[in-house]
């Protein structure tokens, strides 16, 4: 089996659902993490340890960053529909698939964030002393994270 060290700069992000959004370019992806919460139980009369019982699995939010883009597209419309509405309609979730690619552009690993929806959309600060690209950040909540190869 040939195995290569994966590099972090070659990846893609796809949004599933309707209307189609498809693949969107981002400069960074953060929040692919899973953590188990525990409940501590102390046994009466035993003072040198405690039981840690699994409680639930939780995930951080998925944070996607990119250069500011026009918002009149399917991604921008989906974000605006959720973050600027008055909850008259149900929140439309989407699966988001992040794929890490090898040097030939072939998939090496992928992560599926199920039932994702936007919870925060912001622009990094402006500074007249810097000559940098304006970066926007999209934060998504999701219910489950599955990793594949």
Domain boundaries, the chain: 11-148
With bands split at pLDDT 50, 70 and 90, how would you rate the model's confidence at 44? Answer: confident
Query: Is 11-148 a CATH 3.30.70.1450 domain?
Result: no
Average pLDDT score, the chain: 90
pLDDT of residue 86: 79
Kindly state the average pLDDT of the residues 112-132: 93
Distance linking the first and last C-alpha atoms of the chain: 14
Could you tell me which residue, 22 or 141, shows the higher pLDDT?
141
pLDDT 10s digits, 10-27: 899 999 988 889 889 999
List CB contacts of 136: < 8 A, sequence separation 6 or more.
Answer: 65, 66, 67, 68, 69, 121, 122, 123, 124
C-alpha of 106 from chain center: 21
The pLDDT assigned to 111 comes to 97
Print burial letters for 55-88: b (CB count within 10 Å at least 16), e (below 16).
eeeebebbbbebeeeeeeeebeebbeebeeeeee
| Measured CA distances, 120 to 18, 62, 63, 79 (Å) | 21, 10, 9, 9
Say whether 91 sits in a helix, a strand or coil. coil
Q: With cut-offs at 50, 70 and 90, classify the pLDDT of residue 138.
A: very high
DSSP assignment, residue 101?
A: E
What is the β-pairing status of strands 22-24 and 11-15?
antiparallel
Do residues 41 and 53 lie in contact, with contact meaning Cβ atoms separated by under 8 Å?
yes
Give me the mean pLDDT over the 87-102 stretch.
91
pTM of the predicted structure, to 2 decimals: 0.85
On the question of pLDDT at 149 being above 90, the answer is no
């Amino acid at each position: 089996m040939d195995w290569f060290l994966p590099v972090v700069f070659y990846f893609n992000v796809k949004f599933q659902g309707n209307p189609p959004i498809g693949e969107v370019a981002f400069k960074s992806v953060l929040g692919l993490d899973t953590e188990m919460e525990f409940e501590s139980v102390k046994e009466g009369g035993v003072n040198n340890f405690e039981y840690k019982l699994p409680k639930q699995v939780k995930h951080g939010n998925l944070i996607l960053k990119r250069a500011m883009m026009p918002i009149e597209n399917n991604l921008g419309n989906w974000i605006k529909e959720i973050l600027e509405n008055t909850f008259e309609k149900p929140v439309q979730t989407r699966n988001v698939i992040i794929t890490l690619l090898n040097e030939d552009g072939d998939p090496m690993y992928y992560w599926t964030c199920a039932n994702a929806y936007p919870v925060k959309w912001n622009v990094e600060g402006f500074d007249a002393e810097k000559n940098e690209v304006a970066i926007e950040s999209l934060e998504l909540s999701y219910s489950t994270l599955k990793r594949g190869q």
